Homo-oligomer: A and B are copies of this chain.
């Protein structure tokens, strides 16, 4: 697929000078229009063959655009800190907020291509990785991102010629590293792998553009025009939406159909509705059991094996289900230096300028650390679905996005435990009343709680769908009968202990 790119396109200097003038002012105008209506971020991925002009093109884009609103990030081999997180973590941090242009020099494609060329993973591994990337990019595009994927191509002969040229002069010789020559020897392998990767990830929503890197003028114009076309098509789409009076919608939503068709099955919500709520744990037994489970968690979480893993614990449930109490019994057993509890409140404005999952990505723990979420990314398919804060398209595709996210965690050795604390409607009203009667618990009850209670059945349906669709082997849900707080707390501890024990 690179052959078409290697046919020796050339643009003369005069033509270039003329063309580039117009291109630059158009690009700048489009950039400011984007800033003015910041509904989407722009991401430019820069990948390809060494010596094909990647660095030059990145510098050129920064020269042409207003650099105050461009964020360029270059990715080399992962740092120690980056290796302690899921492989996508460093890219999650680098995404530009809405209205800005992010140039990623090296991207989520670099590692899989490089690894496969070294013949480390198998074709099946690579295929799985590419499927993951497709899901990730689909999510970005669904979220409104303009994704421009540039592949810089150079034939084997041209690459060798280019390196030799650069090495001749003192002022440019430093730009050819020994790694470049090593990669050149692997040209054929890299070529083959790249071809597969590009073919498999050139999707309708995020196609690759192969840029012939041999001629600097031609290359520069290709890159500039590709970015301009992408900006214009998005700005055009936004204009249409604006004319239709649609700009006020909360979600920037493309016309993508829901990723998962939601068919209300009869037996789904039965999971939550048919819980017996009969078991009880006496105070005496609870005191013994909780102390035992905490001691065990204390040991397991401090074991040498645990230091190569991280823990993510998610607590969801109706208001007053006892999430806070269960969380405290868990943290009491952990080393305070190694855990953090993240209560999910309304997103900050920095979080609102990013994809939905971004506010959780930033809290993903490094190995040896624990993150406990008091409510979580499941808000998308619970409160946001029920209250209509997210469009149907947005929350229905969230199941897949969430499964993918948790898979990423799992792949990096993160133990993901997810708890639904189930209580009955009667138990909830009892607790609301208790809280109102107790001085130091009044802060715990808000008008929102009463409002949510009115939509009890909607929440139960949403929770049932959620458990149904996100109950994976690598991140299973545990439903805790929580009418008895003691029982729920001990079970939460025991569940985590069981998962940690399996680490070896």
Contacts and interface: CB of A to CB of B under 8 A. Distances in A.
A68 B337 CA distance: 14
A374 to B, nearest CB: 6
Interface residues of A, number: 49
A174 B384 CA distance: 46
B327 A67 contact: yes
A72 B340 contact: yes
Copies in the complex: 2
Interface string A47-67: 000000001001101110011
A241 interface: no
B336 A58 contact: yes
Nearest to A76: B337
Interface in A303-343: 324, 327-328, 331-332, 335-343
A28 B440 CA distance: 9
B29 A63 contact: no
A426 interface: no
Nearest to A61: B336
A174 B303 CA distance: 10
B324 A68 contact: yes
B62 A443 contact: no
B80 A25 contact: no
A66 B324 contact: yes
Contact of A32 (B72, B105, B443): B443
A328 B67 contact: yes
B343 A69 contact: yes
A15 B71 CA distance: 60
A317 to B, nearest CB: 15
Given A80-B79, A348-B349, A374-B68, A62 B336 contact: yes
A3 interface: no
Nearest to A330: B67
A145 B58 CA distance: 43
A67 B329 CA distance: 11
A36 interface: yes
A177 to B, nearest CB: 14
Given A105-B337, A341-B68, A63 B440 contact: no
B29 A440 contact: yes
Given A58-B337, A68-B327, 5 more contacts: A28-B440, A55-B335, A81-B81, A174-B302, A348-B350
13 contacts: A29-B440, A32-B443, A55-B335, A55-B336, A58-B336, A61-B336, A67-B339, A67-B341, A68-B327, A79-B81, A105-B337, A348-B349, A349-B349
